Chains A and B, each alone.
Chain A
Amino acid sequence: QVQLVESGGGVVQPGKSLRLSCAASGFTFSSCGMHWVRQAPGQGLEWVASIWQDGNNKYYADSVKGRFTISRDNSKNTLYLQMNSLRADDTAIYYCASEPTLGSKYFDYWGQGTLVTVSS
């Protein structure tokens, strides 16, 4: 069955960096667009970033543009989110999600999430 397992979350000081990973299994990872979505405490879901199957096309929310980088390693079935210059308002549960086919524009499977806390 499809599994998406996030890791790499934790407590980090403002201005520091963190890299999240999302290990995928149970489907052809290299054929799917992948995404990061977050939920801050008491808030709704917020899309963070997307990457196409081949990794050449990437999209970012304005709130993270220039600070976060999405990438993938199709040989390892793993999605990444490099987060730099972290701020308190980046505190959230970060979910990875898969998109079934190019242009589907919806997320069919989600991971359980990993918590990132930015605090001094």
Chain B
Amino acid sequence: QSVLTQPPSASGTPGQRVTISCSGSSSNIGSETVNWYQHIPGTAPKLLIYTNDQRPSGVPDRFSASKSGTSASLAISGLQSEDEADYYCAAWDGRLDGYVFGTGTKVTVL
């Protein structure tokens, strides 16, 4: 089971801002960097944010992220229809000696 907890769903109308939370512990988010992935079912997952708040080239600046203590969050501003996807936070877990993903949040554009 996932050790990083996310809300199962989030939604908004085009142009709105949506925020997704990710709650972990001292062995993962509390001591490691957080990454975020976007996954449209049937396609390859895509790196959205790395090292807490860095965007790979090509990722729009509508996507931003932050980390504080044992929690992290992803924000999508100016929501667009193409942002409809599943979003996962992830981090290395030093206690498990492995990589852990969040439970995933399905974002729906109304």
Contact across chains for A105 and B33 when beta carbons are under 8 A apart: yes
Chain B: interface size category:
20 to 34
Q: How far is the CA of A61 from the CA of B96 in the complex (A)?
A: 8
The answer, yes or no, to whether B79 is at the interface (CB within 8 Å) is no
Output the nearest chain A residue to B35 by Cβ-Cβ distance: A106
Interface centre among A47, A60, A95, A109 (most CB of B within 10 A): A47
Q: How far is the CA of A95 from the CA of B46 in the complex (A)?
A: 12
- The B interface is mostly helix, strand or loop, or mixed, namely strand
With A44-B104, A45-B37, A59-B97 as given contacts, are A106 and B90 in contact (CB-CB < 8 Å)? Answer: yes
Partner of A45, one of B32, B43, B91, B104: B104
Output the nearest chain A residue to B103 by Cβ-Cβ distance: A44
A51 → B minimal CB distance (Å): 12
Q: Which residues 23-40 of A have a CB within 8 angstroms of B?
A: 35, 37
With A106-B90, A108-B56, A110-B44 as given contacts, are A44 and B99 in contact (CB-CB < 8 Å)? Answer: no
Please give the residue numbers on chain B whose beta carbons come within 8 Å of chain A beta carbons, in ascending order.
2, 32-33, 35, 37, 39, 43-47, 50-51, 56, 86, 88, 90-92, 96-104
Q: A105-B92, A112-B44 are in contact. List 9 more A-B contacts (CB 8 A).
A: A35-B99, A37-B45, A50-B99, A61-B98, A95-B45, A105-B99, A106-B33, A106-B47, A107-B45
